[in-house]
Amino acid sequence: MIQSAQRFFLPAMLLSLVVNVSLAQNPEKEVEAQEPESPHHEITVTSTPFERLEVEVPVAVGSVNEDDIQMGRQQISLQESLAVIPGLFIQDQYNFAQDLRISIRGFGARASFGIRGIKIITDGIPNTLPDGQSSVDDIDLGSIRRIEVIRGPSSSLYGSAAGGVINLFTEDGPRQPFLEGRLTFGSYDFQRYQLKGGGQYKKLNYLGSLSHLTYGGYRDHSETSSTLFNTKLRFDISATSSLTTVVSAVDSPRAQDPGALNQGEVVQDRRQAAPRALLFDAGEKVSQQKLGLFYNKSFERGHRVVLRNYY
């Protein structure tokens, strides 16, 4: 029964098209000999107080890179890329009204809906409220380059009620400017459009992403529509200091909740919505904007000072 339900719920991807346009002014000067890549890649963990190689970090930490997050993914849920992290369990990835239910080593499993007891941080700005409730509505997976997950008691370094930490880092603009468009279509009226671009202009590094998602859902009364905007600007004041500005916004005017069915209702029609969900038109509307400023100053011997303010 469970395997059958999962087969019906997971939308089959029908078409995914990515168009990437480079905007280099002198492409001849960009061509350089490249050394063959080593089959072994060193992974640096930045979620700990000091940046260290993953094999040297004395805590339970896992990470996924940009390819695992963006390539061949619907980019609508953290579950797609974090399923490989041991000790992490995610439910309700297609219920956009109640958000994901995430538990790390059991922490967060008692939440009836949403995410509680787990810290979620994006570019140094917490997505977790002081009461422990976390939100993922404004996370644009199409511009995330890396995710680190800290499990176990070491996550208490991030404050109280931290049964685990999910730390997300967005992309930086490459040296060669680019403009990329992505169109993704699937079953159950799934459509996702994304336009992303970035680059480096003198001391200014920039990257912006705009995406729109519509999804009809497998069950009745489960439609959703969402528009995400995310941009990051970094100005290199000197070789050892920089000022970064992060601006993001989400507008989700419709996220319907089909509700839970009992066994008899599942046998009758597994795709129907719960009567109470239809009666009260259960769902969620979200409109949120975020602004963050970061000043980073590096010193000798690996020391640095980071000043941050966000609204």
pLDDT tens-digit map of 38-50: 444 556 556 555 5
Q: Give per-10-residue mean pLDDT for the chain (311 aa).
A: 39 53 50 46 55 60 88 86 87 84 82 82 88 86 91 77 84 93 91 95 95 93 94 94 95 92 94 93 92 92 88 92
Contacts of residue 285, defined as CB under 8 A and 6 or more positions apart, other chains included, come to: 252, 253, 254, 255
- Tell me the whole-structure pTM to 2 decimals: 0.79
Torsion on CA atoms 83, 88, 94, 96, rounded to nearest 10? -130
- Residue range 173-207, pLDDT digits in tens: 999 999 999 999 999 999 999 999 999 999 999 99
What is the reported pLDDT for 106?
81
DSSP letter string, the chain: -HHHHHHHHSPPEEEEEEEEEE--S-HHHH----PPPPSS---EE-SSSS-EEGGG-SSEEEEEEHHHHHTT---S-THHHHTTSTTEEEE-TT-TTT--EEEETTBTTT-SSSEES-EEEETTEE-B-TTSEE--TT--GGGEEEEEEEESGGGGGG-TT-SEEEEEEEPPPPSS-EEEEEEEEETTTEEEEEEEEEEEETTEEEEEEEEEEEE--SSTT--EEEEEEEEEEEEE-SSSEEEEEEEEEEEEEEEE------HHHHHH-TTSPPHHHHHTT-EEEEEEEEEEEEEEEE-GGG-EEEEEEE-
Q: How many CB atoms lie within 10 A of CB 97?
A: 22
Between the alpha carbon of residue 145 and those of residues 59, 79, 170, 172, 258, the distances in Å are: 22, 16, 5, 8, 33
Q: With the C-alpha atoms ordered 235, 238, 239, 243, is the resulting torsion angle positive or negative? A: negative
Q: What own/partner pairs with CB < 8 Å and gap ≥ 24 does 123-130 have?
A: 123/168, 123/169, 123/170, 123/232, 123/246, 123/292, 123/294, 124/292, 124/294, 124/306, 124/308, 124/310, 125/246, 125/290, 125/292, 125/308, 125/310
- Report how far residue 127's alpha carbon sits from residue 138's, in angstroms, rounded to the nearest whole number: 9
**Dist CA 176 CA 181 (whole Å):** 17
